[in-house]
A and B are shown apart, each in its own frame.
Chain A
């Protein structure tokens, strides 16, 4: 018996190529399985995290839009930050930034006209009206950006919107 096994062993095994092909096939199979499994779990976790971040950002944004905010010139350099105080979301931080809306100057939109005087007069009129509107719009509308960060993983979510200054008084005197 022993003799026979030894003799069988010494006869012929698989060649190196055969073994390698078999191993390669097996490896491809195993990697495929492991990959699908991890992507399943990862995708699900990422979706859950994304939803959380999105919902928190939306919550903060709606809170900002509903509240009567006082806008001053300092508002722009004074971002509001803090952590959420909801159970289970305490490691999420928010940052609310405000920025003044800036409309381009009249020349930047229309270009400089070098035509006859009549045209230039019309342009002066247009420019006056535009500048007035620009000033009014810039007074009323502010840009707001909410950034929510998970302080444990560093995952971030950003949401942008407009907010209007409810206390702004616009200038309706359009006389030139």
Chain B
């Protein structure tokens, strides 16, 4: 074939050899590409699944943060009690309580005259409460660490299927929280925490009966104080597998029954002052 003088004795490859070599190389290349491709696919799938898995963790940690900072003066004080007040105080009390009867956010006063917020769950999937979890983003903005927060389920407009077409939405009101006006939640910006949800249920701990209840009205002081909140969420996890998440969150305030302060106030002065540390717990 190649008959140049220099390489007279050396022979090149035949067409067949080249073809065989080519086909072997292409086979090897195919497997290699296959390998690489599948590795990449798995990596991508795993990342996507992890993302979906972590989505619920992110949403739940948001909820946990807000609920752990839930605020009510009833955690460290008790309600104002007109029956144990003097006449002069009673007049002031009547004046105050009239104002609170019209208040849409705070419905009572604590012993130390702090307004007591009332928590609401108009629907099983909705919870409205006052929390201290707000963090001011700009200096000199008229906000504190207090905020009214609502968690609720809304229909997801982008969802193509009916299964899992709801999303968990968080609304925050951090301005003018002590106003007595009703909060217009629909005017506030929606923060979507999670999609592909079927069901969400808030339950509240009833200390008296040692039970979980889904209605705040039947719990003693339930509207003014939360001791524990159980959240049950049915959602579509990775690969649209139906999953359930159950979490229990606690407020940071310890469960503490304050001493009746009127007992000290109305106590007749005696030679020895009542010791301050005689409380229980």
Residues of A within 8 A of B (CB): 4-5, 8, 29-30, 33, 36-37, 40-41, 43-44, 47-48, 51, 55, 58-59, 62-63, 65-68, 86-89, 140, 164, 166, 168-170, 172
Contact = CB atoms under 8 A, between A and B. Distances in A.
Contacts of B36: 33
B interface: dominant SS: mixed
A172 B277 contact: yes
B176 interface: no
B201 to A, nearest CB: 13
A164 B210 contact: no
B4 interface: no
Given A47-B53, A172-B277, A5 B16 contact: yes
Given A65-B250, A67-B210, A4 B14 contact: yes
Interface of B: 11, 14, 16-17, 32, 35-36, 38-39, 42-43, 46, 49-50, 53, 57, 205, 207, 210, 227-228, 243-250, 254-255, 275, 277-278, 280-281
B46 A40 contact: yes
B245 A62 contact: no
A62 B249 contact: yes
A67 B11 CA distance: 90
B50 A8 contact: no
Contact of A44 (B46, B247, B249): B46
A51 B53 contact: yes
A34 to B, nearest CB: 8
Nearest to A66: B228
A12 B225 CA distance: 90
Contacts of A66: 205, 227-228, 248, 250, 255
Given A30-B35, A40-B46, A172-B278, A55 B247 contact: yes
